[in-house]
Structure 1
Amino acid sequence: MLHFETGPGDVAASRFAVSPAGETVRLIGLLDRAPRRLLPSLMPRFQEAFAPLAALPDVRLVAWLSGPSYGADFASPPPTSMAQTIEQDAEAVRTTPPANVRAEVAEIRSRRAAPPDLATALDDPALADRVASAILLVWHAVLAPEWPQLFAVLQRDVRYRAERLAESGWGAALGGLHERLHWRDGEITIERVPDAWIHLDGRGLLLVPSAFVSPGIAVNYDEPWQPSIVYAARGVGLLGERVGANSGAGDAALAGLLGPSRARILQLLADPGSTTQLATLTGFSVGGVGDHLATLLAAGLLTRERAGRSVLYRRSPLGDALVAPREEMPTP
């Protein structure tokens, strides 16, 4: 079991960030080893776009370096902000000190054998540059077309957890993050990982939401990086779904009552969202989303609040009751 010991300054020092390169590397690993773990709504598009690249030697290098149980930090260095770009990530990969690259490759080789045809490439002094180029290739061909929708989901997760971390501390922010992660008496524990006791000592945690982390959580506490937890973002199940593609009688009834577009927006607003984020997630125009939000707000199904320059909407208790599956509704 892994133990993160927290102190008084660690909440203030903790931050959220998103890594385009990290998401690309995790996606490569899933497509290479376990494509069925991808969302059914996204898997066909990703597999089709990835197929021409899968056998390229440098893409296979990234797949091997990415896991499954231990991956190379240099291939997906911890992100620094929510505004990180793929170009910044690639530059960070390229400029990894050669000694760090060699040490990480040696550690992975001690845990699992490299395919014979990749052995020479793993000793190449230009390995970091090759990895960065492969990440960029897969990003542009596979992930970039889906990134606006994906990033909107990650942003909403960060807003949800950051609010709770600031207002109520670790327990509220980490609640529901993963069944193996627990918070108690100043300590974060994660089950079924090698034993270690890490004192944060004011460094805080880097919390990284992901659409592709498998099996749902990953940790890094190697020097010199800030200790980090990569976790499955809330709302990832909504990615790639078509408007009106309802899966149950309750969804169909809601669409029949409100119309498919307003029903879709109401379903998305379990967590706060802005007009722009909702437009990205649904594919509707910003103006169209605004009209639907006004109608739902007037009906008492939403609340709204200002956060900086944004106005955020979320479901009201009445909206929650309307969306709740019938079997979860209280019996009169």
Structure 2
Amino acid sequence: MTCRLLFGEEDLLRCRFAVSPLWETAEAVRTLRRPDRFPYHPDRLERMRAAVEGLDLEPLWLLMPRRGFSPDFWSLAPSGPSVTIGEELARVRATDPETARRDLEQALASVPGAARGAAGRALLADPARAVSTLADLLERAWHALVAPEWPRLRALLDADVAHHARRLAEVGFGGLLSELDTRLSWHEGVLTVHGLGDHERVLGGMGLVLMPSVFAWPDVVSGLEAPWQPVVVYPARGIGALWEETARRPGRALTGVLGRGRASVLVALGAPSTTSSLARRLGLAPSSVSAHLTSLSAAGLLAPRRYGREVLYRRTALGTALAKGDTGEG
């Protein structure tokens, strides 16, 4: 089973990367129904469940079949590189009721009997009200599941985009796709997404949005019917280390060059993190971690970036090369 996207010359000029807080919210909600997405982080999954206790997510889950169609109106490609959750939710709330009805009917048809059930009938009876209800639920899910972690998640997603943008310049679009995920392949102007339902779409000059995701793992998702710009969502780099609560010890070689404190901080930054988070994981004083972060940043091994009141640090390409080459035991 494959999804095929057929490119013309103009489509290649209109490909871009994007990050979507709304997409991460919807996929976080889906993950609560699909715990197989978090097999190695049961503690994180339990905290997510606790965060939405008392919030009825059934209307959203009803429209999230394991295989099949989910509504396009809450999955649209972000309009720009720095879209906010408020802007995306406003776009959802502005959905035309007839467009919403078509999406709802198609999503409910993917779940046997869903359209005939009381919840399905209620959604279809008043699509304008359904849009408002679903948008409100997504907003509450954002505040409960994603917003507290968003600076950290956004830093990871931005790092993924920066890395793959560099690789795009080095290997071209066709070479990049298999690096995003092995289920993507390129041949003579056709992007094939393996493992999805049979579908083919001629892009017709609309281009494509490539979007990394934390919560979509392990899936690759391709969607959006015309007239919407198509999107391919792939698992972001560094997800495996994102939820780790403890850091591995640095090896002797790196410790000898940087000292144990700075080496420990560099190795621990497999995913972007704040000073306080690193201090907890490493069991060090925040003042010591701050000093190490400053030194590593001055040496070009880390790149700090401010998100609201927090500063997140991520490894540069040089820092990553040093950390990955450090395979010894401390």
TM-score interval (norm. to shorter):
0.7 to 0.9
2:59 maps to 61
CA distance in 2, matches of 1:135, 1:254: 48
| Correspondence for 1:158 among 153, 156, 161 | 161
Alpha-carbon shift at residue 240 of structure 1 (Å): 2.5
Alpha-carbon shift at residue 267 of structure 1 (Å): 5.9
Structure 2: give runs of 5+ residues left out of the alignment. Answer: 280-285, 304-313
Q: Which moved more, 1:159-168 or 1:278-287?
A: 278-287
Q: Which moved more, 1:2-11 or 1:229-238?
A: 2-11
Alpha-carbon shift at residue 176 of structure 1 (Å): 2.6
CA distance in 2, matches of 1:215, 1:291: 36
1:173 maps to 176
Q: Which amino acid aligns with 1:3?
A: R
1:308 maps to none
1:73 maps to 72
Report if aligned partners of 1:303, 1:316 keep a CA contact under 8 Å in 2. Answer: yes
Structure 1: give runs of 5+ residues left out of the alignment. Answer: 305-310, 327-332
Equivalenced residue count is: 301
Q: Which amino acid aligns with 1:83?
A: S
Alpha-carbon shift at residue 50 of structure 1 (Å): 2.0
1:87 maps to 86
Alpha-carbon shift at residue 241 of structure 1 (Å): 2.2
Alpha-carbon shift at residue 261 of structure 1 (Å): 5.0
Residue by residue over 1:146-179, the C-alpha shift from the partner in whole angstroms, topping out at 9 and shown as x without a partner, is 1111111000111111222234321332233222
Change (3 A) 1:312 1:35: closer
| Correspondence for 1:206 among 200, 209, 213 | 209
3-state SS in 2 of match to 1:90: helix
Alpha-carbon shift at residue 188 of structure 1 (Å): 1.4
Residue by residue over 1:29-61, the C-alpha shift from the partner in whole angstroms, topping out at 9 and shown as x without a partner, is 110x212422516323212212332xx2xx211
CA distance in 2, matches of 1:116, 1:60: 13
2:28 maps to 27
Report if aligned partners of 2:76, 2:224 keep a CA contact under 8 Å in 1. Answer: no
| Correspondence for 2:294 among 278, 290, 306 | 290
CA distance in 1, matches of 2:49, 2:262: 29
1:245 maps to 247
Change (3 A) 1:66 1:292: same
CA distance in 2, matches of 1:187, 1:323: 40
CA distance in 1, matches of 2:242, 2:173: 27
TM-score normalised over the length of structure 1: 0.79
CA RMSD of aligned residues (A): 3.2
Report if aligned partners of 1:11, 1:169 keep a CA contact under 8 Å in 2. Answer: no
2:10 maps to 9
